Amino acid sequence: GDGSLLGAARALCRSSTPVLGVNRGRLGFLTDIRPDELEEKVAEVLGGDYLSEQRFLLEAEVYREGERIGAADGLNDVVLHPGKAARMIEFELFIDGQFVYSQRSDGLIVATPTGSTAYALSGGGPIVHPRLEAITLVPMFPHTLSSRPIVIDAASEIILHISASNSTYPHISCDGQTQVVAKPGDVLKIRRKSERLTLIHPLEHNYFEICRTKLGWSNRLGE
């Protein structure tokens, strides 16, 4: 499934090893070869008939009183959330050193274009084509109706100051698979990772066809 590919992506991007996905899960946004066509499609790829694209990842670092206490990577997203406590958290957002807003909410989803069709989509974020160098910030149930998703340059540095007034210990989750537990007063820094994932597709790969199939979009009139 896509979850297996996310784990492989975080490990293999460091060595520039290309990744080809076979869908054994449910949705399969990233794993676009069906099990029944495995031999045929893999043979085509090994024969040189394939498409290759680069996908960027995010790296997250948590600082406590100036000292780094944890770090993790994500191909889909980095999510600040309350953890096991069903309570709002308060934080301040800075982009490239500029103050953006302070917010009370269930957290913030910071997503790559790859992750724009994952958790961020469920939170009301936009679908971002994977060729774009952009990062999406999607508030999770904010305590104000004026908070909306923001799309920024992928070269930006994102800093979240977790308010010292929080009564819970927020969690930072990457791809929903790795996490760092923060405490009130910690600082979360997120930036684009220097290493990239090389993702391999069969020649007939079509991003918008995948969106139609996986998201239930309508086909052309008359079809």
Question: What is the per-residue pLDDT for 27?
Answer: 64
pLDDT higher than 90, residue 2: no
Active site residue 49: no
pLDDT higher than 90, residue 86: no
Please report which confidence band the pLDDT of residue 73 belongs to, taking 50, 70 and 90 as the band edges: very high
* Backbone torsions φ then ψ of 81, nearest 5 degrees: -150, 165
Residue 138 contacts residue 120 (beta carbons within 8 Å):
yes
Least confident of 37-41, 74-78, 107-111, 133-137: 37-41
Question: CA 153, CA 104: separation in Å to the nearest integer?
Answer: 24
User: Could you give all domains of the chain from N- to C-terminal order, each with its CATH number?
Assistant: 2-55+196-215 (3.40.50.10330), 62-193 (2.60.200.30)
Among candidate residues 172, 140, 135, 173, the one with its CA nearest the CA of residue 57: 135
Return the higher-pLDDT residue of 23 and 82.
82
Question: What is the per-residue pLDDT for 181?
Answer: 95
Q: Which sign does the torsion angle of CA 99, 154, 105, 161 carry?
A: negative
Among candidate residues 215, 206, 217, the one with its CA nearest the CA of residue 53: 206
Q: pTM for the whole thing?
A: 0.93
pLDDT digits (tens, 9 = 90+) for 144-199: 888 999 999 999 999 999 999 999 999 999 999 999 999 999 999 999 999 999 99
pLDDT higher than 90, residue 76: yes
Output the six-digit token pair for 63: 């600082």
